[in-house]
């Protein structure tokens, strides 16, 4: 009998860069992003899909990276918070969060940003994002009000441009 395959080659695009790696088949996607690719903006807390801090986009759909294996994203387009913008060059959504004080410690923020980004791409309204997306993210600091304000500010800027 053949020994079970424990390592697999995967090819994917991460934040616009082609990536080819060999990974243990049991490696979580969140671990792969953080430990193999050094993309530590993807935060990990609960590791069972509840807190939302590990949220990223896979083919523009928001997913919990702690609930997927790295091998499951073979052939996909993955986006993490590092792909949104950078220090000195924030995305409009990041800028709105910063201007409206939508974060305090910032632990939950990358996951929230990626969820919002996914919903904006699918055409969701500001209200729908405030009601539905935020309910899938645990934030222990802000009380959510300033995040909601930031989302509305972002939509106001977006609608003007
Ligand atoms: S760490 Fe993935 S949802 Fe909490
Ligand atoms: S800003 Fe601290 S957990 Fe959300």
Distances (CA, A) of 80 to 15, 20, 77, 145: 7, 17, 10, 24
pLDDT reported for residue 92: 96
CB within 8 A of 39, min separation 6: which ones? 14, 15, 33, 80, 82
What CATH architecture does domain 7-83 belong to?
Answer: Roll (3.10)
pLDDT reported for residue 4: 78
pLDDT in tens, 52-87: 999 999 999 999 999 999 999 999 999 999 999 988
Evaluate: CB of 54 within 6 angstroms of ligand 1: yes
Per-residue pLDDT for 42 more than 90?
A: yes
Tell how far the Cα of 139 is from the centroid of ligand 1, in angstroms.
12
Tell me the ligand closest to 48's alpha carbon: 1
**Residue of 102, 133, 142 with the most ligand 2 atoms within 8 Å of its CB, for mutation:** 142
pLDDT band at 2 (very low <50, low <70, confident <90, very high): confident
pLDDT reported for residue 54: 98
Tell me the ligand closest to 56's alpha carbon: 1
pLDDT reported for residue 158: 82
Evaluate: CB of 107 within 6 angstroms of ligand 2: yes
Class of the CATH-defined domain 92-160:
mainly alpha
Question: Helix count (H) and strand count (E) of the chain?
Answer: 5, 5
Nearest-atom number in ligand 1 for the CA of 66 is 2
pLDDT band at 37 (very low <50, low <70, confident <90, very high): very high
Kindly report the protein residue whose alpha carbon is nearest to atom 3 of ligand 2. Answer: 139
pLDDT reported for residue 48: 96
Nearest-atom number in ligand 2 for the CA of 104 is 1
In the chain, domain spans: 7-83, 92-160
- Residue whose C-alpha is closest to residue 116's, from 104, 131, 105, 98: 131
Evaluate: CB of 49 within 6 angstroms of ligand 1: yes
pLDDT in tens, 82-139: 999 988 999 999 999 999 999 999 999 999 999 999 999 999 999 999 998 999 999 9
Tell how far the Cα of 56 is from the centroid of ligand 1, in angstroms.
11
pLDDT band at 5 (very low <50, low <70, confident <90, very high): confident
Dihedral-angle region of residue 43 (phi above 0 means left; psi in -120 to 50 means alpha; beta otherwise): beta
């Amino acid at each position: 009998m053949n020994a079970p395959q424990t390592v697999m080659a995967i090819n994917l695009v991460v934040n616009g860069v082609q990536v080819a790696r060999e990974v243990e088949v049991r490696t979580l996607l969140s671990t792969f992003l953080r430990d193999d690719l050094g993309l530590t903006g993807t935060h990990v807390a609960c590791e069972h899909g509840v807190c939302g801090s590990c949220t990223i986009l896979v083919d523009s759909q928001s997913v919990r990276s702690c609930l997927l294996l790295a091998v499951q994203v073979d052939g996909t387009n993955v986006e993490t918070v590092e792909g949104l913008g950078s220090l000195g060059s924030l995305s409009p959504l990041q800028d709105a969060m910063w201007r409206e004080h939508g974060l305090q410690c910032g632990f939950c923020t990358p996951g929230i940003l990626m969820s919002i980004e996914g919903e904006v791409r699918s055409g969701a309204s500001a209200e729908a994002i405030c009601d539905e997306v935020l309910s899938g993210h645990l934030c222990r600091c802000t009380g959510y009000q300033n995040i909601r304000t930031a989302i509305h500010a972002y939509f106001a800027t977006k609608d003007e441009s």
